[in-house]
Chain A
């Protein structure tokens, strides 16, 4: 109550505005006095001040209606964003990149005073689809999805759309999502490919190890292939697919080396696959350069110590999260997003700049 007593005139002004807002027609001073229960002189003073400020409009008959400035202030309040209460985030698996995204999301949610609900889909699109639907049932304000697959989430996204809950994909596009924020993965693949071509001196047999079936990985491979295309003496002799962890990279490398022992270089769709490949090569005391994508700490440490990983094209999980949150907040507030597909530029980390690069995670 001590707080309430601080500036009673402001509190009374709020009551007057509420009574007028509730009325379906302009109100007289007498009606306001009666409905607010405040002294008439006080109501009169407040109405005069509110009218002076444009928060009320006084009619020719002396009645009061809401003023134009109140609408302006209300519009500004909406454009500053509705309060964000709950955010849902579904991601594939507890791999370091997603862990870094979650850390950035927690920081953003704390800044907004929002609750973050985080669920791992364990690389299963049905699980991820169900998680999106659960977020819709729970009535979160918007949903962020780091997808396990590009397709297969359309139904869940449609339910979110029907419930007016925006879905923003992070990291890779999703069919049915309202927006996507991702690294420019084609460029990332191109940077990594260019680095491998340079390391090999423009000739050699290379193996490509892709990732899970999302556009990010196909874009990276496309970028890699575009980088080696002008170099006819760089030949892709093996193609395989890993997942999101080093174990899958080990498996892919073992299979590739069994069929093609003379591989001269590897492109890995992400750094954890690259780490797995590196472990196989180290165990066989093979010096074969690997390039990857992510800019992960363990990959950068290998670059600093001389390989086999020689380069990685960076992603910035915190920047991806911030951009996705901005879009989610805008869409939640009913706003339009000028660019619903936003791609952040990667950079290349190799032996020349690895010492200065600050890896995430």
Chain B
């Protein structure tokens, strides 16, 4: 549906502005006018509202930036920056790390700190993957009680159209005995190490590059478990 067909064109225009600002394509009202082809007064109204609700911020030099509400919506417990900062250690240096949460029988990537080495699948924010292929699912489910795990999976079962069997298969990823670090390996997403973030329903996942030496993986696993403990 184009903007012209929409009953709420302002939402589409707001989304385009957020895209332009967050990508760096336009960081001033003047460049937005040129980019979106909207009248100056419309841009001014949209920017004022986006800033007012927290989708945008305007810095003292006048430049526009994506606002704090975007981060608050996807990371209401403000974990991303804390856990990524805790990963700033030599053993995790240069590697791809993601914060993930469970959504039915899927893992949703909340955010990613991208490393330098190529991966079979480069995780992206918002990306979903089959829980069975992601170490984060086992980490999250194993940190919960049986009842909590069942509730965590079933809340999105209707949304995803999961059958009882699919819910059960996901719940089977839960380990009875908790571990510090969980591991997965799949052809599509590669090898992962993951630790549950204590007292949350999130996990921190290290995406292991191909041909990475085992001693380095062991060190990184320890660093990952320290990061979720000390973040």
Contacts and interface: CB of A to CB of B under 8 A. Distances in A.
Contacts of A45: 6-8
Interface residues of B, number: 68
B180 interface: no
Contacts of A4: 49, 52
B66 A7 contact: no
B12 A71 contact: no
Chain B CB count within 10 A is highest, among A53, A68, A73, A110, for: A73
Nearest to A162: B230
A334 B49 contact: no
Interface stretch (A14-22, A118-126, A189-197, A244-252): A14-22
Contacts of A63: 158-159
Interface string A298-317: 00000000000000000000
Interface in A39-91: 45-46, 48-50, 52-53, 55, 57, 59-61, 63, 65-78, 80-83
A7 B46 CA distance: 6
B85 A334 contact: yes
B230 to A, nearest CB: 8
Given A4-B52, A9-B11, A76-B66, A82 B160 contact: no
Contact of B65 (A61, A71, A77, A178): A77
Contacts of B73: 17-18, 21, 66, 70, 74
Chain A CB count within 10 A is highest, among B8, B84, B103, for: B8
Contact of B84 (A26, A50, A335): A335
B18 A9 contact: no
A70 B45 contact: no
Contacts of A69: 15, 126
B105 interface: no
A113 B60 contact: yes
Given A45-B7, A52-B1, A111-B60, A11 B52 contact: yes
A2 B50 CA distance: 14
B54 A14 contact: yes
B59 A111 contact: yes
B109 A52 contact: no
Chain B CB count within 10 A is highest, among A60, A80, A178, for: A80
A74 B125 contact: yes
A331 B7 contact: no
Interface string B84-107: 111110000110000000010000
Nearest to A25: B155
A94 to B, nearest CB: 27
Nearest to A23: B155
A60 B161 contact: yes
A230 to B, nearest CB: 38
B71 A78 contact: yes
Interface residues of A, number: 59
Interface stretch (B75-83, B132-140, B185-193): B75-83
A24 B45 CA distance: 33
Contact of B10 (A3, A7, A83): A7
A10 B84 contact: no
B66 A3 contact: no
B23 A76 contact: yes
Interface stretch (B110-118, B167-175, B211-219): B110-118
A22 B76 contact: yes
A73 B22 contact: yes
B81 A82 contact: yes
B11 A24 contact: no
B176 interface: no
Contacts of B86: 164
B125 A75 contact: yes
Nearest to B127: A68
A282 B65 CA distance: 56
A285 interface: no
B71 A74 contact: yes
A72 B125 contact: yes
Nearest to B231: A164
12 contacts: A10-B55, A14-B53, A48-B1, A49-B7, A49-B8, A60-B160, A73-B22, A74-B74, A78-B111, A178-B88, A334-B87, A336-B93
Q: Which 8 pairs from chain A and chain B are nearest by CB?
A: A68-B126, A59-B159, A71-B126, A334-B84, A77-B66, A25-B155, A76-B22, A49-B11
Interface of B: 1, 6-8, 10-12, 14-15, 18-19, 22-23, 45-46, 48-50, 52-55, 57, 59-61, 65-76, 80-88, 93-94, 103, 108-113, 124-128, 155-156, 158-161, 231
Given A73-B70, A82-B81, 4 more contacts: A3-B49, A73-B18, A74-B111, A77-B70
